[in-house]
Amino acid sequence: MTADLAVRLVIIGASGRMGRSLLRLLPQFPQLQLHAALVGPASLWQGRDSGELAGIARSGIALSTDLEAALGGAGLVLDFSAAGEASRHLGLCAAALIPLLLGTTGLGPQVQERLAEASAMIPVLVAANTSLGAAVLQQLVRQAAAALGSGFDIRIQDTHHRHKVDAPSGTALALGEAAAQAQSLPSPIGYASLRGGDVVGEHEVQFLGEGERLRLSHVATDRAVFAAGALRAGLWLIRQPPGNYRMADIFKEK
C-alpha cells in the first residue's frame, strides 16, 4: 500500500512505554502512516523527531502537544496517555469524526458519560490490554465463570514491573468484570498485585472450588505484543460503525 492510501495515524502519549513501542513497530504496518505524535505539555521531547524518540530512523514528524491541530487530516487515533485527559480526547475525536482506540487505564466513572456520547458518533475501542492473548483470556474467563457458577471463588493476580502505579491493573479489573458479568449471582472477587523488576505483564485467574481448581493465565514477555495488538485493532476499528467496542470484538470477523 502506498503512503497516499495509508490511514493517517495519530499517537497520543508517544513518549510513554506504549507510545515508543508503537512508533518502533509502525513500519511493519504499511496500511498505517504516522500523521502526528503527541507528548504532554511538560515533555522535554517537544519539537524533536518522533523517530529519534523511538530509537529508529528519523520520521520527519516532530513531537507536538496540540491534539486539535493533529486531528486535521487524520484517520485514526491511538491514545495511551494519562487517564485525566480521556474525556477531552473523546470529545475532540468525536467532533472530528475520527475513530479512537483508548488504551489508557484507570478511567473513572466520569468518563463513561463522555464515552457514551462519543461512541454514538464514532467507533471507540476501550482496552486495558491490547494483546490478542489477553483478549482471548477474557473470553475464557467469561465462559468459565458462567459454567462454574457461584460455587467457585474467583481470585485474580497481576504481576508487573516495579514502576507500574495502578493496582490492581486495568487488565485484572477487566478480567474481574468479565467474570462478574457472566455469573447470574456474582460472588466477591479477590485481587492481588505484585510489583517488581521489569515484568512486562502476567495475569492469572483462579476458580477455587471444593476439591478442584481451575487456572487461566496469560504472560506477556515483550511489550511489542501490546503495540502489535493495538495497531491491528486500530485497522479493524476504522471499518466499524459508531459504537463502543472491546478487544474481543476483533475476533468476530473470523
The catalytic residues are 160, 164
Residue pair 40/64 in contact (Cβ under 8 Å)? The answer is no
Write down the H helix ranges in 39-188: 50-54, 67-70, 86-96, 110-119, 132-148, 170-182
Question: In whole angstroms, how far apart are CA 233 and each of 52, 162, 224?
Answer: 25, 28, 14
DSSP letters along 27-79, please? GG-TTEEEEEEE--TT-TTTTSBHHHHHTSS--S-B-BS-HHHHTTT--EEEE
In angstroms, rounded to a whole number, what is the distance separating the alpha carbons of residues 115 and 79?
14
